[in-house]
Amino acid sequence: MLKQIISYMYKSHDFSVKGIAKALDISEEIVAQYKEKLELSGYIKKEGCSTTKCEKCGCGCSSKSLNPIVKWEFTDKGLALAKRE
């Protein structure tokens, strides 16, 4: 199942638990557990927002406020696995 999930995320660029669950016809709880395993195993990682990123941000805001959105991305290890599928 882990390979199916990582393959889906790679092909669709969809890291959302809801989207993966719907596409693979499995429960969101199971997807969340597998996604956590993928993160702990070093296949995917979160890139959160931090004030250091405001220096390069082009949004034009006058105050620094952190974006609550979490961006997921593949690690090199994750990309290698996804490309084999």
pLDDT tens digits for range 31-54: 999 999 999 999 999 876 666 656
Cβ pair 32, 1 in contact under 8 A? no
Phi-psi region of 22 (alpha: psi -120 to 50; beta: other; left: phi over 0): alpha
Predicted local distance difference test score (pLDDT) of residue 71:
83
Q: Which residues of the chain have pLDDT under 50?
A: none
pTM across the whole model:
0.73
